[in-house]
Structures are given as C-alpha cells and as structure tokens.
Structure 1
Amino acid sequence: MKDLVKSAWEALCRRYSSDEELIRQLWDELEKGYTAKDRHYHNLAHIAYMLELADRYKQEPQQQDLLLFAIFYHDIVYKATRSDNEEQSAVIAAQRLHLLGIPEADILHVKEMIIATKAHQTNADYQTNLLLDLDLAILGADQERYDRYSEGVRKEYSIYPDLIYKPGRRKVLQHFLAQPHIYKTPAFQEAFEEKARANLQRELKES
C-alpha cells in the first residue's frame, strides 16, 4: 500500500519537476507525517483509499493533479488536540508546491480545497466538493471497513475519556445525519449516501 501511494506521489511530482532529490525529500516528509504513531485512521491507508476513488472519478489532467496534491497534503498536520490542522496543512502544501514550481493560482486553489475540509460545507467549486466527498467516502464503505475507521478515530482521540469523547462523537454523527445530503456530488450521493447513513445510524445506536 505504501509503495502504491509513493508511486502515485512520484508520478504526480514528475509532471512538474525533474528534481528527484526534492521529490524524495517531500515524500519522506509525507510518509513521516502519515505514519506517526498517533495516526490510527488519518494515515497512508486513508490517502490510498482517496487516491483509488479519485482515479475512479477522474477529471481532466490539470484539475486532477490539483485534486491529487490536495489529497496528499490535506492531513499532513493532524493532531486531535489542535483546531487548526487544516490551516496548517494548507500552509505546508503551499510551501511544498512552490518548490515544485506549481503556479501560484493553482497553489491558492489547493490551499482553499484543503481548508474546506475543516467545515465540509458545499462549495461553489466542483473540485472542492469532490475532495470533500473523497475525504468522507469511508462513511459509505462496507461495515467492516467503516468499523475500522471509527475504531481508528477513537484511538486518535484516546487522550479523552469516554465521558468526553462519546458525546462529541454522537454530535458528529447527528450532524452528518441531519444534512439533506452527506455527499456534495451526484456521483457520490448515488454510490455512497445510503450506505453512509446506515453506518452512521448503526454507530449512533451502538454508542
């Protein structure tokens, strides 16, 4: 799995830079971030799943590349105790994409996409909505995969006792279920909405 993610990263970067040392250094940083010992869900498996689905819902090349950069960097900073993970991830993405020679307008777009994963609100930009749907695709996965996700999230918040964690988690589940649509794009609504609602309702009932 790691090799597949690494290969996808290298192929993406080589479309913009021939500096193999830079590409390797950036990968090492990504790998270190996503394999930290406190990453039980927001890890390389999460990135791999998003990349797999991004390929299934592929766009035209330039737009697809920006989506891929956003996928790789959207959780580069992730700490359960922080409230600015998305903003910090966006800052790092901008700095690294500048090194790869990505145009400033495209860098700004990637930053905006990453920051949008904080509130997960429907956006005027289709690409951003697609990133948000990819980020939440796990909610509509099969039961076993969903349960691994929810267990992983609980481990990432293990510093909090059940007394604090469970009410917060129930609030998150209820928030998603209260929305007219969990997913922003018609393709994801069709493919994942029904299963996501079933998974969320099951976890809420069992919590």
Structure 2
Amino acid sequence: METLKEPFNILVAKYTERPAFAERLWNELELAYMHSSRRYHNLSHLERMLGELSAVKEQVKNWDAILFALFYHDVVYDPSGNDNEEQSAALAKKRMREIGVMPYTIENCKIAILATKQHFSSDDPDLGYFLDADLSVLGADWDTYYRYLLSIREEYHMYPDDLYIIGRKKILQNFLNMLSIFKTRYFSDRLEQQARENITLEIQLLDA
C-alpha cells in the first residue's frame, strides 16, 4: 500500500541514504504482511493504526520509535506460535541497527512491540497511544468489528470451534475485566463504550 510505503520510506531516509536498502526493507515487510494466511494482521491493520496514531502525533514524544513499532510489531505472525512479539522485536532491532537508529529509539520500539503481547497498562504515554491504536478496532462500528472477528477466526482456522471458542472467550473476558480497555483518555473517551458493547455481543455470539 502506497499510503504505508511513503511514510516508511520517509522514516528510513532519516537514517540512511541508501534508497535501494530502504526498498529491500519495505519489500520484506510487504511480503510478510501480505501473506495469504493474514486475514486481519495485514497491511490494512497497519494502515488503520497509522491513521489513529497520526491524530495524536503531536502528543507522542518519540514518533520514530512508535512508527518503527507500528511497521514491525506483527511482522512475524504465527497464530499457533507463542513468541511472535519476541521475534518481531528482534527483527525490528536488527533492521534499525543496520540503518543506524539511535539505541534509545530502538529500545523504545522493542518495548512497544513486546507490550502488544499482554497490553498491560503503562505510565509511558507513547506506549499508551501505541497500544490503544493497536486495539482501536475493538471500538469500531459493529459492521467493522464483525468483519474483524470473522478475520480473526479465519487466521485461527487450524483450531476446531470448541477450542477456539474457549480461547477467544477468555481473551474477550480479560478485556471486559480491565478497568479500562484503552490506556489514554483520547482513545477511551472515543472508543471504550463501543468496545465493551462489541465484545459483549461477540461473547453472546460465541455462546450461541
């Protein structure tokens, strides 16, 4: 998607004057996110996140770290794996080092990617915005949310319904048990109520 490639190239160009290398990095990302198994964790997901984060760009202190985290946080995605975030963070760290990104930005990016594993609360506003953007689909209108839940089921097609329903309900209930699904006031004010309604309705559909 050109809407993603352009900001990626602009980001990378801050650190390297090797356009051919930047092109190789983008092609690597595009190949991963466009894999046929990706029904939700694809370039459209990144595009949605970028739109959400762009609205709060002025509040983000380390925008480069958040952008790198956006592009790399799901670069490794195996629904049956349990170390996707660790592998994604490792690849991000390697690529960022190759283009000369500052260590503190690399570390912030790594922390953001690893945080998507559990989505725990954080005192870091940048991390809060990033995690909220990652979950923003939960607070979308019902039609968008319904397409999302169908896409997630397709990604986990290798699991029979009974196992999938147990696991999915556990994840959804964990969200409902949170004091607030969204970490920042900007996202919570806009999306919290709708997210809880969507999740509750999905649980009802799973029970049915």
Shorter-chain TM-score tier: over 0.9
Aligned to 2:196: 197
Residue equivalent to 2:171:
172
What is the aligned partner in structure 2 of residue 80 from structure 1?
79
Give the deviation of 1:61 after TM superposition: 7.4
| DSSP 3-state at the match of 1:101 | coil
**Equivalent residue for 2:140?**
141
Distance 2:108 2:2 in 1: 28
Give the drift of 1:109. 1.2
Give the Cα separation in 2 of the matches to 1:22 and 1:61: 27
Instruction: Provide the residue aligned with 1:71 in structure 2.
Output: 70
Letter of the aligned partner of 1:27 in structure 2?
Answer: W
Q: What secondary structure does 1:59 align onto?
A: helix
Structure 2 Cα separation of the partners of residues 61 and 132 of structure 1: 13
User: Per-residue CA shift, 1:19-43, capped at 9, x if unaligned?
Assistant: 1011100000000110011100000
Partner of 1:156: 155
Structure 2: gaps of 5 or more residues: none
Cα deviation, 1:6-26, whole Å, max 9, x if unaligned, reads 112112111222110111000
Report whether the alignment pairs 1:115 with 2:114.
Answer: yes
Paired residues in the alignment total: 206
Q: In percent, how many aligned pairs have the same letter?
A: 39
For residues 69-104 of structure 1, the C-alpha deviation after alignment (integer angstroms, 9 at most, x for no partner) is 100000000001100000100000000011121011
Name the residue aligned to 2:131.
132
The residue aligned with 1:4 is: 3
What letter corresponds to residue 201 of structure 2 in structure 1?
R
- 1:24-70 Cα shifts (integer Å, max 9, x gaps): 00000000110011100000000000001111111367611211110
Which residue does 1:39 correspond to in 2? 38
Report the Cα offset of residue 128 of structure 1.
1.1
Q: Give the aligned residue type for 1:186.
A: R
Equivalent-residue separation in structure 1 for 2:12 and 2:60 (angstroms):
13
Amino acid paired to 1:18 = E
Structure 1 residue ranges (4+ consecutive) displaced by more than 2 angstroms after TM superposition: 59-62
Tell me which residue corresponds to 1:187.
186
Moved more, 41-50 or 107-116: 107-116
- Structure 1: distance between partners of 2:114 and 2:31: 21
Q: Distance in 2 between matches of 1:59 and 1:19?
A: 29
Tell me how large the CA RMSD over aligned residues is: 1.1
